[in-house]
Amino acid sequence: MAFAGTAAATTHSASDGDDTLSNGGTYFQGEQLFISNSTQNSSGNQNLDSSDTTYEVRTNDDDETLSSAGSVGDNGNILLDTSALDKGKYFIEDQDNNKIASFEIVEQDLSASFDDDSVVNSDTDTNATTLTLKSPKRPSYKVNVSADDLSWEDLQDVFGSAVTDTYKDDDIVTISGSTSEDVNAQFGSIDAGTYNFTFNVVDTEASSEASITVDKAGDKTATFVNEESTPRGDIANITINLDNTDTAYVQIGSFADSNFQSNLNVTDSDDDGQVVLNLNTFNTNNASVNYVTEGDGTKITGRNSSVLSSEPLASGNYDLAVSTTGWETQSDNNGMDVAKSPSDKTQLRISDRSTDSISTWIQPQSVDTHDDVADMTDTVTQRSTVAGSDNVVLKVDATGIYGAIDNSDLESQQNMSLTLEETGDNVEKNTEADTLSASDFTIVPDGDNGTFYAVISADELADADGADGYGDWKATFTVDENYVLNGDDEDQSVSTTFTYEEQDTSLNGGEDFQAPKGNSTVSGKTNLAPGTELSVVADSNIFYIPQDVTVNDDGTFSAKYNFDRDDVDNGTEFSVYVSSDEDNTKIGGVVNADMNDGTTTTTTTTSSTTTTTTSSTDTTTTSSTDTTTSTTSSSETTTSSTSTSTSSNDDGQPGFGVAVSVVALLAAALLALRREN
């Protein structure tokens, strides 16, 4: 049995211990427990005082085995070292055998592990992993960390802000633990190799080990993605690929060469190996804004940019350089640093702007979100007519304007305008032409492709007209001669004309039809925008069958039905219509069970008889049998022909003007007669 040695008398305070013992408490093996002379036992009596000089710790069982002993401090307090105590229940008593307190000792379990077996010592997140410390019985504790071949500085680099204390002479750092603690660990500055870490709980005997391998990273590189020409006044997207690093130093322009330069420290914030910078060339003469902004997954951590004194950045070529090491001074560059040992160089090409064209497109009424370009390109169709409540979409091809309208709108630009004006016979007599402006449109810019879309509902045309609005409308986009980047000294305008029509939708060409007692298809045509969704309904006093259809590019659509139902008899009449335009699209139908087998047979017999008799009386007689008689001579010819045609219809007869059996024709005639009556 191990006993704690008796130390020379001294004074003890709570700060000397890892915890303060209270009667009935539970503590971890190895802790230093402070026991106050005010501690009370289970009976509520205070038995430890300044007159006590020694104490004993015994097992709290029938044997009351002696487990430890020591001296009481001069001030009547005790500092008990539990490292020699096995796990179990104990009590402590003074030299007079008075029980001071009972307590329990438990062992602390500790496990340590890295999430990854290996990391790379690069500047990217491939150097990072997570250390997990687990101690199920203890919610809070301190852990001393050491590792072969790593100094305390190395350990501090690895665990960063998690370090709470350092022991430089011993190459140890201290971090905090819990029942389950995740600690970030980064090995970017650690040499390649395998490292064995030891984790010792500061105040108990608990410990654990974990190993990790650090692999050598490749060379740090930063390279520009092929840069395309950017029109003057637009936004240049500068993309850089990063390898084995997530930071770069980007130089745009050179003050010594072009009187323009912007230096930027950038970080790849989403670990996709790229950074993207957006250079608004229109704002390069505006000191109140940052004309270089962050693209997706990019963080600008530092900048030093010159500002042009007059017009925005001129057309021409501008140097681009990127470094992975930092900046260096260049004496003849107006005090601006340059990229140190650039990893890559290229040029940014700024071209002249232009106003090119405008065209009319249409879009289904149901498209009511226009947040990005995909909302436009995926749903529009080029056409010079628009109908019903569809959206009118004006596609304007113009460059050099997107820097101006970035974080702004077209309406607020004094030197640009978009108008929509009724024209031709659409203008009422003795009135001014009704006009709509940019504020009436939703503007969707696509500066990367030198295009913007202006969207307006055709209903707005009717509202502006005060009537139905049907007729011709002219759309015009103008860049004023006073626009700072308009080098022609005259207005630049483009225009297009389209016709607004009344909605025109029909089923089966407006004709009634027959359907087999099985599968049947009803086709239709409309002048609404392709992609429009319609509901085509087959309706009778027996059934109501709606079918959702989508308008094709050529304006057609079709709905399929199956009338093979127990409640549908031969001769059942019904109507088919588009639910949103019932009055104008309704046609009649009738179920013809004779078509049910999918095969229709039509038989036609033609018979003609001609008899010619010639005599001296030259008499000719003509009757309904087409018989001619002459007394001159006698001859008879009879011709009879029978034709049979068979057609196959696996999916059922659509019924659009196709001849079927005689019974089918009679049924259609009967239906038409009933409708007239």
Q: Are 255 and 334 in contact (CB under 8 A)?
A: yes
Q: SS3 for 158?
A: helix
Q: What is the pLDDT of residue 2?
A: 40
What CATH number did the domain enclosing 50 receive?
2.60.40
Single out the residue of 593, 558, 603, 592 nearest to residue 576, CA to CA.
558
* Strands of the 163-167 sheet, one edge to the other: 118-120, 207-215, 193-201, 141-147, 172-177, 163-167
Q: Do the Cβ atoms of 405 and 234 come closer than 8 Å?
A: no
* Each residue's pLDDT tens digit, 75-124: 888 899 998 899 999 999 988 888 888 999 999 999 999 999 999 988 77
d(CA 246, CA 254): 24
- The pair of three-digit structure tokens given for residue 23, joined into one six-digit string: 């009667």
Mean pLDDT of 658-676: 41
Domain end point (choices 323, 351, 379):
351
**Bridge partners of residue 381, in order along the sequence:** 362
Q: 674 lies in a domain?
A: no
Residue type, 367: V
Query: β-pairing, 19-20 with 32-35?
Result: parallel
Same domain, 228 and 249: yes
454 phi, psi to nearest 5 deg: -115, 120
Both structure tokens of 638: 């009879």
Give me the pLDDT at residue 12, please: 87
- Specify the amino acid at residue 190: I
Same domain membership, residue 490 and residue 466: yes
Are residues 362 and 492 part of one domain? yes
- For the ranges 278-282, 353-357, 487-491, the lowest mean pLDDT is seen at 487-491
Domain with residue 134: its CATH number is: 2.60.40.2950
Dist CA 172 CA 145 (whole Å): 6
Do 496 and 382 belong to one domain? yes
Same domain, 116 and 100: no
Report the C-alpha gap between 394 and 155 in whole angstroms: 62
Domain end residue (candidates: 215, 248, 281): 215
What is the H or E stretch that residue 241 is in?
Answer: strand 235-243
Domain boundary among 442, 474, 501: 501
Nearest-5° Cα angle at 509, 505 to 510: 80
Give the whole-angstrom CA distance, residue 518 versus residue 80: 94
| DSSP secondary structure of 439-489 | GGSEEEEEGGGTEEEEEEEHHHHHHHHTS---EEEEEEEEE-TTSTT-TTS
- Decide which of 667 and 179 is more confident: 179
What does the pLDDT look like over 581-638, one tens digit per residue?
A: 999 999 999 999 888 544 333 333 333 433 333 333 343 333 333 433 333 333 344 3
Which segments within 36-189 are labelled E, that is strand? 54-59, 66-71, 78-81, 88-94, 99-106, 111-114, 118-120, 128-134, 141-147, 163-167, 172-177, 180-186
What pLDDT is attached to residue 462?
87
List Cα–Cα distances, 665 to 241, 594, 602, 669, 675, in angstroms: 73, 12, 11, 6, 16
Residues 225 and 164 both lie in one domain = no
Give yes or no for residue 661 having a pLDDT over 70. Answer: no
Q: How far apart (Å, rounded) are the C-alpha atoms in residues 327 and 219?
A: 18
Q: Are residues 496 and 541 in the same domain?
A: no
At 221, the pLDDT band (50, 70, 90 cuts) reads: very high
Grade residue 542 by pLDDT with cuts at 50, 70 and 90. very high
Strand partners, 180: 134
- Are 484 and 557 contained in the same domain? no
Higher pLDDT, 344 or 463: 344
Contacts of residue 626, Cβ cutoff 8 Å, sequence gap at least 6: 608, 609, 610
For residue 550, give the nearest of 362, 366, 360 by alpha carbon: 366
Task: For residue 579, give the CATH number of its domain.
Answer: 2.60.40.10
pLDDT at 467: 78
Residues 286 and 238 in one domain: yes
Measuring CA to CA, which residue among 486, 496, 401, 417 is closest to residue 450? 401
- 348: confidence class by pLDDT, cuts 50, 70, 90: very high
Worst-scoring range by mean pLDDT, 137-146, 171-180, 460-469, 575-584? 460-469
In a domain, 321, yes or no: yes
Q: Which amino acid is at 29?
A: Q
Q: Is 396 helix (H, G, I), strand (E, B) or coil?
A: strand
Mean pLDDT of 550-573: 94
- Residue 671, in any domain of the structure: no
Residue with tokens 């097992």: 59
153 part of a folded domain? yes
Whether 499 shows a pLDDT value over 90: the answer reads: yes
Query: Cβ distance 440 to 316 under 8 Å?
Result: no
CA quadruple 238, 244, 246, 249: dihedral, nearest 10: -60
Cα–Cα distance, 39 to 48 (Å, whole number): 7
Q: Within a domain: residue 666? A: no
User: What are the pLDDT digits (tens) for 15-30?
Assistant: 888 899 988 999 999 9
Coil, helix or strand for 153? helix
Q: What is the 3-class SS of 522-561, one letter each residue?
A: EEEEECCCCCCEEEEEEECCCCEEEEEEECCCCCEEEEEE
Query: Which pLDDT belongs to residue 595?
Result: 83
Averaged pLDDT score across all residues of the chain:
85
- Concatenated DSSP letters for 481-527? TTSTT-TTSS-EEEEEEEEEE---EEEGGG--EEEESSEEEEEEEES
DSSP 8-state symbol, 425: G
Number of domains in the chain: 6
Residues 156 and 19 in one domain: no
pLDDT bucket at 38, cuts 50 / 70 / 90: confident
d(CA 183, CA 210): 13
Express as a percent the part of the chain with pLDDT over 70.
84
For residue 19, tell me if it sits in a domain.
yes
Domain assignment present for 611? yes
Using the CB atoms, write b or e for 609-631: b if 16+ within 10 Å: eebebbeeeeeeeeeeeeeebbe
**pLDDT score, position 431:** 62
540 and 525 together in one domain: yes
What's the pLDDT band for 427 if we cut at 50, 70, 90?
low
Q: Are 90 and 61 within 8 A, CB to CB? A: no
Same domain, 483 and 369: yes
List the domain range (segments joined by +) for residue 458. Answer: 355-501
Determine, yes or no, domain membership for 655: no
Contact 542, 572 (CB under 8 A): yes
Q: What is the pLDDT of residues 235-279, one digit of tens each?
A: 999 999 999 899 999 999 999 999 999 999 999 999 899 999 999
